[in-house]
Amino acid sequence: MAEGHDAEKLRDIIESLRCGKQKKLDSNESDDDFQESFEELDQENGGTANPKLDTAHVNSEMEISELEKQLKELQIESKKAHLRQQIEKEKESLRTIHRSALTLPEGLQPSSLQQHSATGEPINFSQPNKEQSALQILSFIWPEPVEQFQTFTLGGEVEFRVGKKKTLDKVTIEEWGYANIRIMQELLKQKRLSNIQGYLNYTADIYRLAARNVWYSVLLYDKEYRQKQADELFEWGIYRQDLRDFQLVSKRDNPTFRAFSEASVGASKDGVKNGFHLCIKFGPHYPVNRENYSSAFRYRSKVETQIKKEIELGNYIVTKSIPTIVSSLGAVPKPNGDIRLIHDASQPIGISLNSYTSDTNCAYMDMRHALKLIKPNSFLAKIDLKSAYRSVCCHVSDHNLTGLKWTFLGDDSPTYMFDSKLPFGHSRSPKIFQKLSEAVCIIMKCRYNITCIAYLDDFLVIEDTMFNCNRGLHLLIRTLRELGYNINWSKVEGPAQRITFLGIIIDTRELTLTMPPEKQSDFYNLLLSFQKRKRASIKQIQSLCGKLNWACQMVKGGRTFLRRLINSISSAQNRNDKVLLNSEFEADISWWLNFMSVFNGTVKFMDFKPITSLQTDWLL
């Protein structure tokens, strides 16, 4: 800076003058004797000193004062120039911020954000982004008077008024219609809309959906649809069933409300508060008192320890009277060495707890739902619940039907108890818990805009970025804990782009599904064991069909060779009955064995290669 340089130069001149003056005085008047002689000489000459010396001294003092004054002025000008430079830098930084995104105080969003120049002309910074990005409804809603706003003034020239912006859940259907027309105009202006009829068909479709579904769920569907259209560039009006299945929530008075109603309103509200009913009541139940299975005695110490723990937690309640239905108790070992207690609520046939139960069918979220939501390079996170069924109460009126007994070590007679939570073995327990898990997913989407799916007690968070996925993971954990569920912390994973869900490895970078090598080996050995059999029990075939159904998520076309196996046991009543394995059964098992012998365990679930040729048999 020139001013700073001049001030420094002037300061050096003043210092040199002061030093010169001091040296001159020292050289002429340093000796006291010389001073006395000079005074005597002055008296002899009539008291007149050297006039040239006095004049030089006065001139030096005046020059120093003038230079000091100039120095102060230059310092002030230098400071002013520095401040002007800082102001210009802050203005440029502010313009850069508003060209990208304005950062506001927490809870505030820009509403009709304007800059007022020195001439008073408003410059609008809230225009929609002109890039090829999704044009969303909230950016095109008509302006409203801001009742409460904050004013920010910077540099005396730029003024900002900031108020709360309307959120998606507050958008009315009239506001959506206005914004939708504005978006169409903007798309036409940007030459991004070639098929106006398709956009109008989409508009009509939204109004039809609004008549049957909760309006906020339609807004979420619309938001996701617009984002996908901008990303994938498909034609407007294309039917997207994957978005509808996950986003839309039917109204209560609509026939299609059945799936959601049981998870959120009516019976489920009563079930969450007072416990869920396990079976229908149509008359007195016949008394049943079954003996425990041998597996319970095989793992006696572990079974007894777990029963005592359930009693301490209040899940098993000891009763002096014998419950109406006392089911058999069994133990199934887990891979980690623990056991799972099973209540066989299916025996005896006709008078068991499951015999009095209806409405057990349920559509579960599985890998197919996840693959509809996963996009390339998505981030995933997984949460598993611990003792999930033990978090849900059954109705008090059903306690007498969930009885069990156990003879503790040292006792002579059995202790009778009833289960106050969902029994593991009751046919309606999976449906009840699945509906509750789906309700949690709906809460996450409606309240936090976090995408997740649930298969019973397994939750999968699916988001585009690691930040959103990590945020969704923490919000889901907090929500589950607030609802009273126990988290299995050892099985919490993510965020990651490669994760194991429902026993299958999902890779969002390679867009592949992989069967773990150990599961692939176990699956192949299971098929070999059935190839040599002539007969098998219904229970064994059901287990085989379950594993084949799981494998069909990776084996395209596998369901074709599963259907006949399911049909062979569809009419069976007793799971312990054995059936002969016919030639069709053997042929399907042979196909699976041949396929698994050459299958590497990995399959692509998303293929971006375009279809260039389509051929069909002329006989079709």
Are the C-beta atoms of 572 and 538 separated by less than 8 Å?
yes
Single out the residue of 111, 94, 107, 106 nearest to residue 153, CA to CA: 94
What does the H/E/C string look like for 302-329? Answer: HHHHHHHHHHHHCCEEECCCCCCEECEE
Bridge partners (DSSP) listed for residue 325: 288
d(CA 45, CA 475): 103
Q: Within 10 Å of residue 496's Cβ, how many Cβ atoms? A: 16
pLDDT score at 258: 44
pLDDT score at 7: 61
Q: Within 10 Å of residue 534's Cβ, how many Cβ atoms? A: 8
Q: Which residue has the tokens 């008509």?
A: 142
Q: Please report how the helices 429-448 and 466-482 are oriented relative to each other, as an axis angle in degrees rounded to 10.
A: 130
pLDDT score at 281: 58
Give backbone dihedrals phi and psi of 199, rounded to 5 degrees, phi first.
Answer: -65, -40
Averaged over successive runs of 10 residues, the pLDDT of the chain (620 residues) comes to 58 64 51 51 50 61 82 84 82 64 42 39 41 80 56 53 68 89 90 88 89 83 87 83 65 46 49 71 70 86 87 86 86 82 79 74 80 87 87 82 85 87 81 87 86 90 91 91 86 90 89 88 87 83 86 83 81 73 85 86 70 56
d(CA 84, CA 86): 5
Encoded tokens for 579: 């059936």
Show Cβ contacts of residue 459 under 8 Å, excluding neighbours closer than 6 positions. Answer: 382, 383, 384, 385, 437, 440, 441, 452, 453, 476, 480
* DSSP character string of 183-218: HHHHHHHTT--S-HHHHHHHHHHHHHHHHHB-HHHH
Whole-model pTM? 0.57
Encoded tokens for 174: 């009239």
d(CA 321, CA 112): 72
pLDDT score at 382: 93
Are the C-beta atoms of 135 and 226 separated by less than 8 Å?
yes
* DSSP character string of 509-548: TTTEEE--HHHHHHHHHHHHHHHT-SEEEHHHHHHHHHHH
Are the C-beta atoms of 376 and 457 separated by less than 8 Å?
no
d(CA 328, CA 337): 22
* DSSP character string of 444-483: HHHHH---EEEETTEEEEEESSHHHHHHHHHHHHHHHHHT
Show Cβ contacts of residue 81 under 8 Å, excluding neighbours closer than 6 positions. Answer: 1, 3
pLDDT score at 272: 65
d(CA 295, CA 60): 114
d(CA 112, CA 110): 7
d(CA 369, CA 42): 115
Are the C-beta atoms of 322 and 403 separated by less than 8 Å?
yes
Q: Which helix (H) or strand (E) holds 12?
A: helix 2-29
pLDDT score at 133: 80
Are the C-beta atoms of 134 and 229 separated by less than 8 Å?
yes
| Kind of pairing between the strands at 288-289 and 325-326 | parallel
Q: Which helix (H) or strand (E) holds 21?
A: helix 2-29
Give backbone dihedrals phi and psi of 586, rounded to 5 degrees, phi first.
Answer: -65, -35
pLDDT score at 474: 92
Single out the residue of 259, 448, 467 nearest to residue 365, CA to CA: 259
